[in-house]
A and B are shown apart, each in its own frame.
Chain A
Amino acid sequence: MRLLLVEDNERFAVLLKRGLAAAGFVVDVLQTAEQAIAALRANRVEIVVLDLGLPDADGLDVLGDMRDRQDATPVLILTARGSLEDRVVGLQRGADDYLVKPFALEELVARLQALLRRPGNLLGVTLKLGNLALDTVARQVFIGDRPILLSPREIAVLEQLLRRSGRVVPKNLLADNLYGLAQEVGSNAVEVHVHRLRKHLAEVGAVVQIHTLRGVGYLIAAEKMKC
């Protein structure tokens, strides 16, 4: 998985590169906006990690150049500023995610993986969590190596949750995905599907837990995150 890291602090770049390499990324490091723009125009990478505070320009200029060229490569912004306006501006300019320094390496890796799992980005991904695996193409769920039977709606819910595992999937997003935007959904339709999914997973011994956040949505996590 080829990743471009644009970060001017050499020590931080070296550390991040090492950490990301350990998570399976092939990392190229560039230190200026000019180099980054030139490199991104010439080559394709799967994902970009972009620091905003670059010596020659604002990291947003790199992002702007990409989006102007219709380059939809996912971009995760790193910033040391994290001011009240920055996040909004970054997301408005077309960034896919945003992390304020300092952050846990684990968090960065998880977010990068979430961005790469996005629909339309990579086909034929197997989403894994704990002893659970979902083949998004075959629409088949496994516990370990053992295939288990779930309804298409349950698989759809599970896929949404797994694509953002460790993070909250808003309830209305689940409803939109299940029924499309046009349809009016009974308010407890999603709840029913999640309830059934949870029951089935428990029955087959999956070591994952689907947490309900009342009024917000659902979050799937490996069993260690107990509620």
Chain B
Amino acid sequence: MLKFRSVVSRIIALHLLAIVVTSICMPIALDLMLNYAARQLHHRALRDRAAEILQYLDTGPDGALRLSLPATLAQFYSEAYGRSAYAVLDPSGRVLLSSLPGAAAITPARPQTKRFEYFAARSEASEVFGVTVKADMGGQPLMLQVSEDLGHRDVLIDDIVDEFFTRVGWITAPILLLLLGIDVVIFRRALRPIVAASALAERIGPARTELRLPETGMPNEVVPLVRAVNHALDRLEEGFRGQREFTADAAHELRTPLAILRTQIDMIADRELAGSLREDIESMSRLVNQLLDMAELETFVIGEDEIADLAAIATEVAAYIAPLALSQRKNVAVIGTKRPVQVRGNAEALGRAIRNLVENALAHTSPGTTVEIAVAGAGELSVLDRGPGVPNAEREHIFRRFWRSDRRRAGSAGLGLAIVKRIAEMHGATVSVADRQGGGAIFAIRFAAVTDVDTALEHQLETVL
């Protein structure tokens, strides 16, 4: 069975079916009705003639029946005119009077119960249609037959009835089709607010939770749906906001005591004690930061028009992390293209991803080595180190939360790479790990598409024009 997905096409299909049925049935019905009406007209005309004749019928002094028609009427029934005929019969069928040659009856008499009885008689040349009227003349029962030759029937009525299909009937289909056209236009107009609302709904997403579908202009049948959708969006936005507020509050509540502790440690005179406490609080702070990052990323969304430059991010992260790297007697460098490589995304989030990768690399390399951040024009950002690399068996696990290859190692919660993966996914990018030639690991974030702002603009202009 054909399935029509759109309301309009469904209506059109049903409408077409209705048109087919109607254009067949309606002319047939009209034809029947017309024929019936035409017949009724004939019957009445014949009855009127009969009544007219009865007026001029009387019994002569000899007791015989006589008909004294005025000249015009007599002319009408004359043989020469030949269109109409009358005959008066007695109940036994004997012809008393007749306009026909040879004083014949128009049709053989039959026993009759009704006052008017219609008949059709066919002769060799013509078809005769008539009525037999039961009458009574001075106590004597009579039968008056009046007929008309169908070959000479009223021409006008004839034409209308016979040519109904060709002259009038065909108009039904075009009228119905026109109606269908008008209906389609009306439906389209009625559905326009829904189409507009759909376009608006398309734009609703985590980044634009404040958008609501308009109720004004909506057909009444659709308003409950619109209202329900808007309520659902309200709850969704509420949930998002609640989660964000919780993360922000948690950040404040967790970091403030850490900050107090950290500052107190910084003021301890005993350098050795301060140093070891500092290490503890630093790994604690890193864990808190990563947990908060993870929580924030759950509700973080990239703005529709955010553009990030991978080359700038690489340089910024390298500069940020350089003091840490140098303090560990290691180095960081940025290699690859220096030209802007623009992708759709949030620079701060991508920076955190790269930072986590570099921190991870620094944690696994020995002094004297350099961690490199490579930028590729095709939309790839990778971090290369000279550490031990990642064994094949571990590669699918390292991006999981709280996964650590060595649980005894302090200062790592196993969240860094999970954060990297989450940020990459948010950007529609993939993160992967591979062996580096000559030893070490390569972590690469690959973006689906590089945004060439100029060609994107050109493309937009083209589609607009």
Contacts and interface: CB of A to CB of B under 8 A. Distances in A.
Which residue of B256, B278, B300 has the most chain A CB atoms within 10 A of its CB atom?
Answer: B256
Which residue of B330, B336, B348 has the most chain A CB atoms within 10 A of its CB atom?
Answer: B348
Which residue of B278, B285, B331, B335 has the most chain A CB atoms within 10 A of its CB atom?
Answer: B331
B335 A106 contact: no
B251 A82 contact: yes
A18 interface: yes
Contacts of A102: 255, 258-259, 261-263, 281, 285
Which residue of B260, B332, B335 has the most chain A CB atoms within 10 A of its CB atom?
Answer: B260
A102 B266 CA distance: 11
A80 B252 contact: yes
Nearest to B331: A227
Interface residues on B, range: 35 or more
A15 B318 contact: no
A37 B54 CA distance: 122
Contacts of A101: 255-256, 258-259, 262
A103 B264 CA distance: 11
Contact of A170 (B251, B315, B336, B352): B315
Interface string B285-301: 10001001000100010
A139 interface: no
B356 interface: no
A84 B345 CA distance: 12
Interface stretch (B31-39, B214-222, B320-328): B320-328
Contacts of A146: none
Contacts of B278: 104
Interface stretch (A61-69, A200-208, A218-226): A218-226
Contact of B322 (A81, A82, A85, A211): A211
B405 to A, nearest CB: 28
Which residue of A53, A102, A227 has the most chain B CB atoms within 10 A of its CB atom?
Answer: A102
B132 to A, nearest CB: 104
B306 to A, nearest CB: 11
Interface in B293-347: 296, 300, 314-315, 318-320, 322-323, 326-327, 329-336, 338, 346
A94 B57 CA distance: 123
A184 to B, nearest CB: 15
Given A80-B256, A81-B251, A103-B259, A19 B331 contact: no
Contact of B348 (A87, A103, A168, A211): A87
A167 interface: yes
Nearest to B244: A83
Interface of A: 9, 11-12, 15-16, 18-19, 22, 53, 80-85, 87-88, 100-106, 166-168, 170, 211, 213-217, 219, 221, 225-227
13 contacts: A12-B256, A19-B266, A83-B248, A83-B292, A102-B281, A104-B266, A168-B320, A170-B319, A211-B322, A213-B319, A216-B332, A225-B327, A226-B329
Given A19-B267, A221-B323, 6 more contacts: A12-B256, A213-B332, A215-B333, A219-B322, A225-B327, A227-B330
